[in-house]
């Protein structure tokens, strides 16, 4: 069962506490019908590390931090609001889920939003699952490019977020490079963009290329990510990233004459 169905079953109050639980509670209170959002029910086993609890933490963190980043340059542009909406549509969220996601986004924009507390809890709830944190950062990078400009304030905010999550800065820079390459090749992928998407140098041997490709596929494998706590609603995001990786690898193989 997904975390959302569990919450609709009336166990939000038992599933997750702290700032993330409080934010979800506010988002649900104003956007979900009384019929759907009962806070009673059996507590179940929702201790730290529980998959549904991690999924709830990921969902609430993704959209609230997205709102924070949208405002970090001083204002929230129309493009950034559209970007948040596109992520929701990409995830094929139900109408009720979109309402909750928008409320979380708005909470992230608010001056009272405590980024440190949210990141600390997300890291604790995710049990430092690197693949999950990487996907979280990739979504934030995507949001940072929403207005067509990736400025220094957004870059510094992402570095701070990565540091709080104990994610290596050099790996963050690789993710930014990969997204920039994918964005540059949105219309027609070229060989430079393909290498950029894989985050590798052109002088790698064929054997090293295959190893890097397999590592990236493993990092973005939807089933593995869901098992580690990625909300099921975000599988499509992971699938699209996987397809980018495959397309880039196939182009490089063709360019090198590999079989």
The residue ranges of every structural domain in the chain are: 3-256
Whether the full predicted model's pTM is greater than 0.75, yes or no, is: yes
Rounded Cα distance, 164 and 259, in Å: 42
Between 133 and 45, residue with greater pLDDT = 133
Q: CB-based contacts of 251: which residues, under 8 Å, 6+ apart?
A: 189, 191, 194
Between 7 and 150, residue with greater pLDDT = 150
Q: Is the pLDDT of residue 196 over 50?
A: yes
Q: Is the pLDDT of residue 161 over 90?
A: yes
Closest CA to 117 of 50, 230, 229, 20: 20
Rounded Cα distance, 74 and 60, in Å: 22
Q: Is the pLDDT of residue 64 over 70?
A: yes
Average pLDDT, stretch 71-85?
Answer: 80
Confidence at residue 40, expressed as pLDDT on a 0 to 100 scale: 38
Rounded Cα distance, 166 and 181, in Å: 25
User: Residues 34, 83: contact at Cβ < 8 Å?
Assistant: no
Cα 214 from chain centre: 21
DSSP letter at 232 equals G
Q: Is the pLDDT of residue 70 over 80?
A: yes
Percent of the chain with pLDDT over 90: 35
Q: Is the pLDDT of residue 22 over 90?
A: no
Rounded Cα distance, 206 and 33, in Å: 56
Average pLDDT, stretch 43-51?
Answer: 53
Q: What is the mean pLDDT of the chain?
A: 81
Cα 145 from chain centre: 14
Rounded Cα distance, 144 and 179, in Å: 11
Average pLDDT, stretch 207-227?
Answer: 87
Ranges 28-32, 41-45, 204-208, 255-259: which has the least confidence: 41-45
Confidence at residue 220, expressed as pLDDT on a 0 to 100 scale: 85
Rounded Cα distance, 254 and 251, in Å: 5
Q: Rounded to a whole number, what is the distance in angstroms from the first to the last CA of the chain?
A: 41
User: Residues 15, 46: contact at Cβ < 8 Å?
Assistant: yes
């Amino acid at each position: 069962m997904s975390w959302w169905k569990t919450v609709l079953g009336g166990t939000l109050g038992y599933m997750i506490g702290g700032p993330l639980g409080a934010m979800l509670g506010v988002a649900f209170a104003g956007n979900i019908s009384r019929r759907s959002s009962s806070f009673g029910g059996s507590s179940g086993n929702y201790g730290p590390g529980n998959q549904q609890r991690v999924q709830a933490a990921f969902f609430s963190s993704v959209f609230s931090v997205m709102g924070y980043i949208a405002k970090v340059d001083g204002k929230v542009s129309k493009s950034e609001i559209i970007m948040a909406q596109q992520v929701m549509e990409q995830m094929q969220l139900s109408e009720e889920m979109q309402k909750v996601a928008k409320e979380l986004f708005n909470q992230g924009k608010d001056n009272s939003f405590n980024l440190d507390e949210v990141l600390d809890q997300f890291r604790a709830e995710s049990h430092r699952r690197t693949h999950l944190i990487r996907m979280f950062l990739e979504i934030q990078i995507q949001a940072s490019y929403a207005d067509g400009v990736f400025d220094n304030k957004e870059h510094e905010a992402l570095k701070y977020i990565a540091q709080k999550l104990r994610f290596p800065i050099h790996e963050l820079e690789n993710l930014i490079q990969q997204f920039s390459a994918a964005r540059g090749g949105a219309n027609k992928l070229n060989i430079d963009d393909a290498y950029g998407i894989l985050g590798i140098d052109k002088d790698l041997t064929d054997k090293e290329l295959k190893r890097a490709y397999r590592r990236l596929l493993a990092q973005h494998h939807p089933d593995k990510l869901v098992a580690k706590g990625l909300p099921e609603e975000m599988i499509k995001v992971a699938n699209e990233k996987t397809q980018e990786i495959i397309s880039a690898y196939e182009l490089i193989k063709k360019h090198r004459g590999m079989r």
